[in-house]
Amino acid sequence: MAGDDDDYVYDEVTGEWRPASEIAAAATAAAEVRDASGNVLKDGDSVTLIKDLKVKGAGQTLKQGTVIRSIRLTDNPEEIDCRHDTIKGLVLRTEFVRKR
């Protein structure tokens, strides 16, 4: 449990005053980025596409099985920022990738 000197924060979801450390731990757990198989993704991981994806604005299709290296996580847990040899500034949805 929380110590006596812990700050308390009002949690609007539960309607209770909870220790700030407890709220921070819950927010960290909720912000985990997971691939289509449920594996946790981190910055620098390599992923594989699980289906063909048409890239808007680039006029090409990334094929299933394409490996994307050195991903970067974004503020949105459903998207990752990555680079491909022919496409700069590529953002992929996590539902279409699997961790290698």
pLDDT tens string 11-49: 887 888 988 888 777 766 667 899 999 999 999 999 999
Cβ(60)–Cβ(66) below 8 Å? no
Q: What pLDDT score was predicted for residue 73? A: 92
Q: How far apart are CA 81 and CA 1, in angstroms?
A: 37
Q: How far apart are CA 64 and CA 67, in angstroms?
A: 9
Q: How many alpha carbons fall within 13 Å on the CB side of residue 33?
A: 24
Tokens of 59: 């006029």
Q: What is the CATH number of domain 33-99?
A: 2.30.30.40
pLDDT tens string 65-100: 999 999 999 988 899 999 888 888 899 999 999 999
Q: What pLDDT score was predicted for residue 5? A: 60
Q: What pLDDT score was predicted for residue 70? A: 93
| pLDDT confidence band for 4 (50 / 70 / 90) | low
Q: What pLDDT score was predicted for residue 30? A: 61
